Amino acid sequence: MRPAKPVQRTASVTRLGPGENGIMYIGAHVSAAGGLPKAVDRAVDIGAEAMQIFVSSPRAWRFKAPEDALVEKFREASEAAGMGPTVFHGIYLCALGSPDEALVERSIESLTSHLQTAERCGALGVIFHPASHRGAGFEAVLDQFVDGVKRVLDASPGDALLMLENSAGAGDHIGSKFSELGAIISAVGSDRLHVCLDTQHAWASGYELNNADKLDEMLAEFDREIGLDRLSAIHANDSMRPLGSAVDRHDNIGEGEIGVDGFKLIMSRPALAEVPMYLEVPGFEKGGPDAQNVSILKKAREEAGVAG
Ligand SMILES: [Zn+2]
Ligand SMILES: [Zn+2]
């Protein structure tokens, strides 16, 4: 397995990435309602060590770039709280593989705004869903998809990463198999295109990650098709649905099919030991990622003998 490649750090901001500090950060998706700095308070409140946020409504195209003063406040608050890498999650409407040209253009625009904002905020990068090929087939939309990604990267200079998230495999969704993500990455040819592995989506698409042998097979496949040096974030979610269901239904850690022992196993793998994790779970009180889920993962990390 290849060693993790550290993400470049800018002088003015802490941009921690995989492979830095030897720490596995346990983060969570938190709301940025009321402004980016508020997200830091919410992360601190639940004990999260890193955060994922939406920088605009995930179900609308409208995007308003945060003002410099707010960005500055966010960076100061993150640093004061000792936050690990921040990631942004792109909006759900993006579909670079769509036959609708206008939709593709808006998707490129949206991802570009997000990636430029990530750069300004010192975030690790932007995670997005490859979405659907709308029945055309993966091969048929590959060139178009690759062209879109290249345009986003070209329009967003810097070192913030663009991260493809593996999908659960429903319908015509791209990226439930690592070979598809790998094909996109090699065709784009940029060292800024990485992957976020969602444990629930992997489970739904048939990767049995709570079985040691299957987990190691999955990691070997990831390394072969993509390269483990491109694995820069993990969405830590248990699964409400059975293995291979192709259904995207996140559960609280320990309440689903993967189980706490499954997460302990995942955390124990050296290749994953320095990849930041972000919870996207419903929450025990249905309010989203909470202190209880964070503490379950922290305990699992401790029992897996990983540095935190
Ligand atoms: Zn996602
Ligand atoms: Zn996810």
| In a domain? residue 200 | yes
Active-site residue, selected from the candidate residues 92, 151, 172, 191: 92
151 Cα to the center of ligand 1, angstroms: 21
Distance CA 120, CA 63 (A): 15
| In a domain? residue 97 | yes
| In a domain? residue 15 | no
Note down pLDDT in tens along the chain; length 308 residues.
Answer: 333 434 433 333 445 555 556 689 999 999 999 999 999 999 999 999 999 999 999 999 999 999 999 999 999 999 999 999 999 999 999 999 999 999 999 999 999 999 999 999 999 999 999 999 999 999 999 999 999 999 999 999 999 999 999 999 998 999 999 999 999 999 999 999 999 999 999 999 999 999 999 999 999 999 999 999 999 999 999 999 999 999 999 999 999 999 999 999 999 999 998 899 999 999 999 999 999 999 999 999 999 988 88
132 Cα to the center of ligand 1, angstroms: 14
Q: CATH number, domain at 158?
A: 3.20.20.150
What residue numbers bound the domain in which 160 lies? 26-303
Residues facing 26 on adjacent strands: 277
Q: For position 218, what pLDDT does the model report? A: 97
Active-site residue, selected from the candidate residues 15, 42, 250, 269: 250
237 Cα to the center of ligand 2, angstroms: 8
Report how many domains make up the chain.
Answer: 1
Q: For position 19, what pLDDT does the model report? A: 53
Is 59 a known active-site residue?
A: yes
235 Cα to the center of ligand 1, angstroms: 8
CB-based contacts of 153: which residues, under 8 Å, 6+ apart?
Answer: 115, 162, 188, 190, 192, 193
| In a domain? residue 13 | no
Reported pTM? 0.93
| In a domain? residue 308 | no
Is 250 a known active-site residue?
A: yes
Q: How many CB atoms lie within 10 A of CB 34?
A: 10
| In a domain? residue 239 | yes
Of the listed ligands, the closest to the CA of 281 is 2
Sign of the dihedral defined by the CA atoms of residues 216, 217, 221, 222, in that order:
negative
| In a domain? residue 215 | yes
Q: For position 118, what pLDDT does the model report? A: 98
| In a domain? residue 4 | no
Q: For position 112, what pLDDT does the model report? A: 98
